[in-house]
Amino acid sequence: MSEAQKENVEGRVLTYVDAITEGVREVLLEQSNSFVAGEDVGLAGGPFGQYSGLFAEFGEDRIIDTPISEKGIVGLGVGSSAAGCRPIIDVMFVDFMGECMDEIVNQMAKMRYMFGGGVTLPVTVLSMTGAGMSMAAQHSQSLEVWLAHLPGVKVVMPSTPYDAKGSIITAARDDNPVFVLLNKVSLGLKGEVPEGTYEVEIGTAEVVRQGTSFTIVAVSRMVHEALQAAEILSELGVDVEVIDVRSIQPFDTDTVVNSIKKTHHGLVVHEAVEFGGIGGEIVAQIQDQAFDYLDAPVGRIGAPFSPVPFSPVLEKIYVPDADLIVAKVKETLGLS
Amino acid sequence: MSEAQKENVEGRVLTYVDAITEGVREVLLEQSNSFVAGEDVGLAGGPFGQYSGLFAEFGEDRIIDTPISEKGIVGLGVGSSAAGCRPIIDVMFVDFMGECMDEIVNQMAKMRYMFGGGVTLPVTVLSMTGAGMSMAAQHSQSLEVWLAHLPGVKVVMPSTPYDAKGSIITAARDDNPVFVLLNKVSLGLKGEVPEGTYEVEIGTAEVVRQGTSFTIVAVSRMVHEALQAAEILSELGVDVEVIDVRSIQPFDTDTVVNSIKKTHHGLVVHEAVEFGGIGGEIVAQIQDQAFDYLDAPVGRIGAPFSPVPFSPVLEKIYVPDADLIVAKVKETLGLS
Amino acid sequence: MPKQPTKKVLQELHLTMVRIRCFEDTAGRLMEEAKIPGALHLYVGEEAIASGVMQNLSNEDQITSTHRGHGHLVAKGGDFSKMYAELYGRSTGYCRGKGGSMHVSNMELGMLGANGIVGGGPPIAMGAAFANKFLKTKKVAVAFFGDGASNEGSFHEAVNMAALYKLPCIFVCENNGYGEYTPQAKHQTIVDVADRAGGYGIPGVVVDGMDVIAVYEAAREAIDRARKGAGPTLLECKTYRFYDHVGVRGMGMTYRTDEELEKWKKRDPIQSFEAELIKLGVMTQKQIDKVYSKVNDLVEGGVQFAEDSPFPEPSELLEDVYCVKGA
Amino acid sequence: MPKQPTKKVLQELHLTMVRIRCFEDTAGRLMEEAKIPGALHLYVGEEAIASGVMQNLSNEDQITSTHRGHGHLVAKGGDFSKMYAELYGRSTGYCRGKGGSMHVSNMELGMLGANGIVGGGPPIAMGAAFANKFLKTKKVAVAFFGDGASNEGSFHEAVNMAALYKLPCIFVCENNGYGEYTPQAKHQTIVDVADRAGGYGIPGVVVDGMDVIAVYEAAREAIDRARKGAGPTLLECKTYRFYDHVGVRGMGMTYRTDEELEKWKKRDPIQSFEAELIKLGVMTQKQIDKVYSKVNDLVEGGVQFAEDSPFPEPSELLEDVYCVKGA
Ligand SMILES: Cc1ncc(C[n+]2csc(CCOP(=O)(O)OP(=O)(O)O)c2C)c(N)n1
Ligand SMILES: Cc1ncc(C[n+]2csc(CCOP(=O)(O)OP(=O)(O)O)c2C)c(N)n1
Ligand SMILES: [Mg+2]
Ligand SMILES: [Mg+2]
């Protein structure tokens, strides 16, 4: 959220989950050909309450409970968007994308290209990512890089209530398939959210903390861990700039590279497994475009190479946090 | 293939596709609890002839034609390996993994971990990757990074007939799920292949061309393009070292980093879409571990950000080749 | 008893079948001559299905097709020039050369694409039908798919949802007895794919897919039902492909007997229909011959158009990945 | 008419149901007290199914379970201490604390895991059954799944393949009328999931899932059939969950009426069976009470064991990702 935008907010505070609801509601009000479809999005209001009240307001024609059929659900999104609707599709957990990856990778992402531009798919997909709730290996993943690697779809990962609402509206107005990956641990997070509609541009990162001596590039909830780390580090005299990437496809290379050129040090933090995660892509871009500005290798923090463990003590070690970020920054700078 | 191994070969030449068949055959001879299951692997011998003759030799009990049911096929692999078999599962094209990603990501890859080590899944999955045959967007992808990002599975990508046969044998002897991703454009490629069984260690890269002034790290078929590029570059006085990564999970960081420390220049080449591909991971590791040795940013070459186009003229531009590699190396070195 | 189709309808059915046959015969030859790149899955032998079903649809209605998709697009009104150009990978093709045989499509004709993924179509057709109902149009969506595809999970999920929401969606199974080289008995235990309809509480109908009138009538009933809001039908058409799975002679595999092929060829949907047309006095042999010569002219013209057309420019590679606002 | 189960069998069926009920009641309480982390899906109300089916299986036979998996593991002989320890995330649990409620498993008992993926089990059970046949054992594999899961593509593919290969596989649908908060009528048009069996050419059987003897008998028939090599059965058990989708009181959603719940509670599978046992003279009230007190001792002991157990060491985080040769 830019400073200018912040001024308009006038202190209206919502939780992340309520911001999601509000974003979806604005879309439904604005676009008569939009609807929400997914498992238990209707009467139940979504497993996280993220659609609560919408069924009562918009009725069962527009808030559609589906069978437990992810291939069908995403197919519904693809087919209906090709035929004139602007569907909002809920894939309950990003872990369940495995069930509908074909509909995503081979149909949704490629149809326009294969048709030589002959079809437009204005479909928005919402799904929950992230670990930290003792939901174990099949309900805690962060698989965003699968989607970012896929020409034809866009992928945003809002970290704040403001961005959650705005991203949903922007995604729904976009004429392309857009994934809005929401973080389930952030559902209770509070933040300023304006009434009415506003957009959060897809493909631009945001500098959420200005700094001069180290750049932390963070994805989704890790933004908050990075900000916390920055506070701790500032006491040690390290002036950290924190960038919320917000969108991983398209990716805002410029904002990141410009920051690195200023600070000469970088660290990329995400919750997904480090190996093969989006962090590698970001580091590769940084070293390519800011090679001569780097005083040290660009670091990466992601989850270790294992599935997400159930036991809270293990999960706590598993998910990156502020302490780990602080340690890594200190290590890079040779601080003790 | 190391020099020592090459000496034992005595010039027995096979095509890549025949090497696949031979590898599978050795496994079936060696392990009575192994079988092959997949679409048209039986009577038809596989859509590329990669299983030809096996049905006649081993019968329909061990070469099993399945319905067109990728979720079922991979489920068959998971369940039967948990229950005492050592299945070889054929997923015809990696593009079709979308259909069975759940069985891969949530079951095969995680079952051992979720069970606290209580189950062992000695399953091997064979699948065809790569573009270049005018098979368009849904039959030409390289999606290996999805798998490499997945703790619990191993992923090898043999580039030669020798490695194809050996990797299959090694994979089948491994007690973990191993994906052997084969390249369909390489099926006619000839190379030396010993009779009988031998292994190609999973997790070790191979220096396939020694050089002193530039390191090209190549994946699968790109190894051959890199070797060709190296020949061209040698005429320009650039002495290129070419590394065949062979295995992307686990990944042999040491071999790559040691080479870079020697040559001070690196380029990673793969066929998959560049953004979010395994190249980013490799570059991030290199800059992390050989930062002070690098004289220039490590380059990357992958496919541009689009689905694979059908038209041969576009596909030709789409797939990286020796010319592109030469150009990129020259650019990095500032040669005209 | 349903009323006999009009003469006009009978002639149109015939024309559509001939159009498909001639298009495919030439396409197959061109592929085997390596003039067309990639792999073609030809529809020869199965013409009665696309023709009979499409006779009941307008351009507004949508279909999803399969890897064996030329026949569907031809029957939906596809232009030979743009189709051949697409198979040739030329920029004048329906997909600007980016799709090829397995993805040939045209939204203006309601053709939501051939599909390289077996079972890829049904969820998309179900989605289109959902939009039709949501937007209160009277359009229907038809999903074509093979016997082999009926074993994909996507089929199951799509039919269940279409039934649940009573969507204007028709599932047409082109049961040619094989999924690639695997006979039906080796990929499912049932003989009639239509038996699966019961699992979704919708009608399952079996029809002779070599009899274009039978297909036309059965499809009409299913489509009328769907348009009236009574929900989907699973319509199975028993058929046979006269050529191999890929191309004309394919890879020379011996998974079918010559006898079986000959037996089915005796039931050639076009030849038997022509005999019928002559018997009924709807067309003379001369008129029939004229149809072929006209269609073959179109084929020739289409091929010529394709061969004269330019390949896409390199700059087109990165176009059409995304819809660019205002572009 | 099948012969009446022996007294021993009746008592074992009762014991198993009580074991499940007591295990679950306490687990639910501990979750709501936030002593157990994560989410539990309790089996209370559905005990007759796991108990009736498992009575026919040995430890050698395999099952795949669901997110609602405790009852299956208890019925398969699961040890309360190791189960509670797992739910608590302790290193002494069945999965060393790595799996928790949704992945609790034990291969020695042939329990191939609770599964957090709806529809995750059937393909795995089919695969295990394939191995059983391939290795010429006499083992069978049973896939438990819900009414909601019957709409997943994985179910369709697994049943088709099991039928095709005539595998020793039994598909047991626990139809409790809801998938999460969605009633069956809102997720499929059919009333009997067993109707889907026809689409695969296998027997579909509906049984009262609140009647443990009915389940036991029907499962025995299906399992005998499978063991004899006659292939799979789809066995649907009509049941109801007495607690919410998650936990005991869940999230307080109003998707079911109190009347509906009360109606089903009157058919409590344990209470009605106990009345029957007393009537038949198989057990006295006193004996029944003793069963509860013994089982409750086990529950208490199990909880104590769990609470006394250590959490996994940090070093265990990266163990069990791969099988290390020689390790
Ligand atoms: C998901 C998927 N699996 C496998 C294939 C490979 N394949 C292409 S066509 C085909 C057979 C399809 O059989 P059927 O559905 O009966 O259609 P037919 O070819 O007989 O018209 C197969 C297995 C594919 N394209 N997509
Ligand atoms: C693939 C997948 N989709 C959705 C979910 C979320 N989910 C968990 S339980 C459940 C309902 C399952 O219903 P049913 O199969 O009838 O089992 P029941 O809970 O009634 O025992 C759903 C939708 C999931 N875990 N996995
Ligand atoms: Mg077929
Ligand atoms: Mg249920």
* pLDDT tens over chain B, length 336 residues: 444 445 555 689 999 999 999 999 999 999 999 999 999 999 999 999 999 999 999 999 999 999 999 999 999 999 999 999 999 999 999 999 999 999 999 999 999 999 999 999 999 999 999 999 999 999 999 999 999 999 999 999 999 999 999 999 999 999 999 999 999 999 999 999 999 999 999 999 999 999 999 999 999 999 999 999 999 999 999 999 999 999 999 999 999 999 999 999 999 999 999 999 999 999 999 999 999 999 999 999 999 999 999 999 999 999 999 999 999 999 999 997
Q: How many domains does chain A have?
A: 2
C322 domain residue, yes or no? no
Give the phi and the psi of residue A214 in degrees, each rounded to 5: -160, 135
User: Closest ligand to C50 CA?
Assistant: 1
Domain-terminating residue out of B164, B192, B220: B192
Average pLDDT, chain A: 96
Is D163 within 8 Å of D232 (Cβ atoms)?
Answer: yes
* Domain identity same for B228 and B257: yes
* Domain identity same for B212 and B188: no
* Domain identity same for A108 and A162: yes
D140 domain residue, yes or no? yes
CA–CA dist A126, A24 (Å, integer): 10
Is A266 within 8 Å of A94 (Cβ atoms)?
Answer: no
B-chain residues near D129 (CB < 8 A): 79
A2 domain residue, yes or no? no
Beta carbon of C247 within 6 Å of any ligand 1 atom: no
Residue A224 belongs to domain spanning: 206-333
The single residue listed with the structure tokens 């995400």 is A270
Residue in D98, D117, D134 closest to B116 by CB: D98
B201 domain residue, yes or no? no
- Identity (one letter) of the amino acid at C184? Q
pLDDT digit string, tens, across residues D53-70: 999 999 999 999 999 999
Q: Ligand 2 centre from C158 Cα, in Å?
A: 18
Is B328 within 8 Å of B299 (Cβ atoms)?
Answer: yes
Q: Identify the residue whose C-alpha is closest to ligand 2 atom 6.
A: D118
Reading the block at residue D297, the tokens are: 């001792």
* Domain identity same for B185 and B139: yes
Question: D60: nearest CA in chain B?
Answer: B83
B314 domain residue, yes or no? yes
Model confidence at D195: pLDDT above 70: yes
Question: Which CATH number covers residue D278?
Answer: 3.40.50.970
Three-class SS state of A34: strand
Spans in chain C with pLDDT lower than 70: 1-3, 326-327
Cβ pair B79:D113 closer than 8 A: no
> Residues of chain D whose C-beta is under 8 A from some C-beta in C?
151-157, 160, 163-164, 186-190, 195-196, 198-202
- Identity (one letter) of the amino acid at B253? T
Rounded to the nearest angstrom, the minimum Cα separation between B309 and chain C is 5
Beta carbon of B92 within 6 Å of any ligand 1 atom: yes
Domain-terminating residue out of A192, A224, A256: A192
What 8-state DSSP symbol labels residue B71? H
Question: C325: nearest CA in chain A?
Answer: A175
Q: Give the pLDDT score at C4.
A: 83
Instruction: Name C63's Cβ contacts closer than 8 Å, sequence gap at least 6.
Output: C54, C57, C72, C76, C110, C111, C112, C125, C141, C142, C143, C144
CB-CB neighbours of A231 under 10 Å:
12
Rounded to the nearest angstrom, the minimum Cα separation between C152 and chain B is 5
Closest ligand 2 atom number to CA of residue D147: 16
Cβ pair A137:D103 closer than 8 A: yes
Q: Ligand 2 centre from D147 Cα, in Å?
A: 9
B197 domain residue, yes or no? no
Residue C198 belongs to domain spanning: 7-311
* Domain identity same for B48 and B188: yes
User: Closest ligand to C66 CA?
Assistant: 1
Regarding an ipTM greater than 0.95, the answer is yes
Rounded to the nearest angstrom, the minimum Cα separation between A140 and chain B is 11
Number of Cβ pairs < 8 A linking chain A and chain D: 128
Reading the block at residue D309, the tokens are: 């157990």
Q: Give the containing element (helix H, strand E) for D174.
A: strand D169-175
Three-class SS state of D151: helix
Beta carbon of C149 within 6 Å of any ligand 1 atom: yes
Q: How many domains does chain C have?
A: 1
Is D126 within 8 Å of B72 (Cβ atoms)?
Answer: yes
* Domain identity same for A63 and A129: yes
Q: What is each CA distance from C184 to B49, B159, C191, in whole angstroms?
A: 21, 36, 8
C323 domain residue, yes or no? no
B8 domain residue, yes or no? no
* Domain identity same for A46 and A174: yes
Residue in B70, B74, B83 closest to D62 by CB: B83
Which residues sit with Cβ closer than 5 angstroms to ligand 3, an ion? C 146-148, 176, 178
Q: What letters, b where the CB count within 10 A reaches 16 and e where it falls short, cover C74-112?
A: bbbbbbbbbbbbbbbbbbbbbbbbbbbbbbbbbbebbbb
What 8-state DSSP symbol labels residue A104? I
Cβ pair D189:C163 closer than 8 A: yes
Q: Give the pLDDT score at A336.
A: 78
A251 domain residue, yes or no? yes
Which of A139, A224, A265, A270 is catalytic? The answer is: A139
Beta carbon of D116 within 6 Å of any ligand 2 atom: yes
Beta carbon of D148 within 6 Å of any ligand 2 atom: yes
C256 domain residue, yes or no? yes
Residue in D154, D188, D198 closest to C160 by CB: D188
Reading the block at residue D272, the tokens are: 């009605």
B222 domain residue, yes or no? yes
Clarify whether B139 is annotated catalytic.
yes
- pLDDT level of residue D326 (50, 70, 90 thresholds): low
Residue in C38, C154, C179 closest to B310 by CB: C38
Mean pLDDT of A214-242: 98
* Domain identity same for A133 and A35: yes
For an interface test with C, which of D117, D156, D169 has the most C Cβ atoms less than 10 Å from its Cβ?
D156
Question: C160: nearest CA in chain D?
Answer: D188
Cβ pair D97:A40 closer than 8 A: no
Closest CA to C23 of C68, C89, C90: C68
Cβ pair C153:D156 closer than 8 A: yes
Instruction: Note the residue count of chain D.
Output: 327
A-chain residues near C129 (CB < 8 A): 79
Three-class SS state of A31: coil
Model confidence at D1: pLDDT above 50: no
Q: Which of residues 41-70 of A touch D (CB under 8 A)?
A: 42-45, 47, 49, 65-70
Rounded to the nearest angstrom, the minimum Cα separation between C187 and chain D is 7
A6 domain residue, yes or no? no
- The chains in contact with chain A, meaning 3 or more Cβ pairs closer than 8 Å, are B, C, D
User: Phi-psi category of A109—alpha, beta or left, where left has phi over 0 and alpha has psi -120 to 50?
Assistant: alpha
DSSP-assigned states of every residue in D177-233: SEETTEEGGGT-S-S-GGGGGGGGTS-EEEEETT-HHHHHHHHHHHHHHHHTT---E
* Domain identity same for A225 and A154: no
Beta carbon of D204 within 6 Å of any ligand 2 atom: no
**E-only strand ranges, B8-130:** 13-15, 34-38, 63-65, 86-93, 124-129
Model confidence at D85: pLDDT above 50: yes
Cβ pair B44:C182 closer than 8 A: yes
C1 domain residue, yes or no? no
C13 domain residue, yes or no? yes
Mutate to test the pocket of ligand 2, among D46, D64, D67, D190 (most ligand atoms within 8 A of CB): D67
Q: Give the pLDDT score at B11.
A: 86
Question: Which CATH number covers residue B38?
Answer: 3.40.50.970
Q: Ligand 4 centre from D177 Cα, in Å?
A: 5
Which of B139, B224, B265, B270 is catalytic? The answer is: B139
Terminal Cα-to-Cα distance of chain D (whole angstroms): 54
Q: Give the pLDDT score at A2.
A: 46
User: In this structure, are strands A154-156 and A178-183 parallel, antiparallel, or unpaired?
Assistant: parallel
Cβ pair C312:B309 closer than 8 A: yes
Number of Cβ pairs < 8 A linking chain A and chain B: 159
User: Phi-psi category of A114—alpha, beta or left, where left has phi over 0 and alpha has psi -120 to 50?
Assistant: alpha
Q: For residues C62, C68, C70 and C71, what is the CA-based torsion angle, rounded to 10 degrees?
A: -80
D59 domain residue, yes or no? yes
Q: Give the pLDDT score at D4.
A: 83
For the purposes of burial, counting CB atoms within 10 Å of the CB of D228, is it exposed (0-12), middle (13-18) or buried (19 or more)? exposed
* Domain identity same for A214 and A180: no
Q: Enumerate the H helices of chain A as residue ranges.
A: 3-9, 16-30, 54-58, 70-82, 97-102, 111-114, 144-148, 161-173, 222-235, 253-263, 278-289, 312-318, 322-333
Q: Give the pLDDT score at A11.
A: 86
* Domain identity same for B225 and B274: yes
Q: What letters, b where the CB count within 10 A reaches 16 and e where it falls short, cover A89-128?
A: bbbbbbbbbbbbbbbbbbbbbbbbbbbbbbbbbbbbbbbb
CA–CA dist A183, A191 (Å, integer): 15
C-chain residues near A78 (CB < 8 A): 123-124, 127
Mean pLDDT of D5-14: 97
Cβ pair C117:B138 closer than 8 A: yes
CA–CA dist C272, A276 (Å, integer): 59
Q: Give the pLDDT score at A226.
A: 98
CA–CA dist C250, C31 (Å, integer): 11
Q: Give the pLDDT score at A8.
A: 52
Q: What is each CA distance from C302 to A99, C93, C305, D282, in whole angstroms?
A: 41, 11, 5, 84
* Domain identity same for B25 and B139: yes
